[in-house]
Structure 1
């Protein structure tokens, strides 16, 4: 199985560095640090993992790093120190804020009951460009491997601004090119339209097709794309031997999410899965 895994990495154009192969920290490792923040990504680098994150476009057209479709009523704190409530969160989608408004929230201090080991430290929603600059400096200063990035293009529910998906892809790719990290980035999305646009306008960019829980027919899922992605990314409980063999035969990596159990991580490693995404970088 180890030989098959290495072969897949070569065919897929070295998705991540040798030290970071197989290991992706979900949202920077939200089990240990505030998710999708600079401090989380820096912490993940200390464990020699690649960095997984999510991108949106703000109302003032800034690319920022965040996951949820609304400001979180679970872990976000208002500028006045009060906790964000569900009622408050549901009044406004995350893309309807300007970036200065988003940055005013503290997304690190508030305890998250789902992740009791998380450090409760003050943190803010970062710009994508700012985050890249920070982790690149951190890696260089610490003598670490250059960071590898798995970047999800997030498409919120509801009516979108005109050409939202295209504008987000273009803005993200502009930053990636300016930061000279193209060869260390894979772009992932659940959204077929966003991936198709990316592939057509930026040929050669590494891509991964994320699939929702319950969509088990991997061959039918892959046929939704007009091109062959670098990676196929299912929920880890959907992974089968047949899926792995089919993907590897077609030079497609299997990138599975989100695995927060050490024994499951090892089981998937032995099966020949190429990448595991986990909330806990210390589990690898």
Structure 2
């Protein structure tokens, strides 16, 4: 794809986002999860990113291999004594790719269709999804990409914010998909870097606190394109205030059809769910 202006690309009227692809149905943040979400008709693929020791951008929620649903390269369990010791930022991507993140039963999501999988490069996701869209003549989707960072993790679990954002944006710009990218984070530092250095990129502020809209926007220092709170924090008043500031409200993570319907009824602009198959029933 050739890079083009972001100005002409609008987010969907109601954005149907597959959380970590389709976490309820396939292992999270993997190629199979993204392709399943695409098959189910999502308008946005939501995902998490980390940086490897050798500077590669790849998909993962946790900053270490999670023994609940991930296995050692030889297929063995990660011992409880090593629960948080396999830190991704301290491994080259060639080593990260050897771990199996798709074969272990995950009791929190018993419906997952298990299959051997690896933590993919972000570039690999772009290539696979765009090729799939072209081959199947599907509508273009957006990519909602989270920077998994926080101040206490700098230099331990991830690089500092500017380096993180620059490495992420190098992949995005290199693949020419910036028109379709949203960068989201709980870490206001990374969003500030995006706003300063890459103002054409859409931003989304993730929120799990009860500070309220004004305080969270004051902490961020600008008005993002999207305000993305934990879904139980959403009220009609919040939606109205956000809309008055020309922000969309897209809460996370809603996993029942009734709750999706209830939120849609009070005017949210989309939802993020582990079960994108629910969108067929809206």
Question: What is the TM-score of this pair, normalised by structure 2?
Answer: 0.91
- What does 1:269-284 align with in structure 2 at a 5 Å threshold? 269-284=264-279
- What does 1:1-284 align with in structure 2 at a 5 Å threshold? 14-16=10-12, 21-49=14-42, 50-155=44-149, 158-161=152-155, 164-212=160-208, 214-284=209-279
Partners of 1:99 and 1:66 in 2: CA distance: 12
Partners of 2:85 and 2:159 in 1: CA distance: 23
After superposition, the Cα gap between the structure-2 partners of 1:159 and 1:272, relative to the gap in structure 1 and judged at 3 Å, is closer
Is contact 2:53–2:91 with CA below 8 Å preserved after alignment?
Answer: yes
Partners of 1:90 and 1:78 in 2: CA distance: 13
Partners of 2:106 and 2:150 in 1: CA distance: 23
After TM superposition, give the deviation of residue 151 of structure 1 in Å: 0.3
After superposition, the Cα gap between the structure-2 partners of 1:86 and 1:211, relative to the gap in structure 1 and judged at 3 Å, is farther
Residues matched between the structures, number? 270
Partners of 1:183 and 1:245 in 2: CA distance: 27
- After TM superposition, the runs of 4+ consecutive aligned structure 1 residues lying more than 3 A away are 156-159
Partners of 1:77 and 1:228 in 2: CA distance: 41
Is contact 1:69–1:156 with CA below 8 Å preserved after alignment?
Answer: no
CA-atom RMSD in angstroms: 1.8
Structure 2, unpaired ranges of 5+: 1-6
After TM superposition, give the deviation of residue 93 of structure 1 in Å: 2.4
Deviation per CA, 1:67-126: give whole Å up to 9, x if none: 012101111011112112332232242211211111011111111111111001111000
Partners of 1:283 and 1:216 in 2: CA distance: 31
Q: What SS is found at the alignment partner of 2:195?
A: helix
Structure 1, unpaired ranges of 5+: 1-10
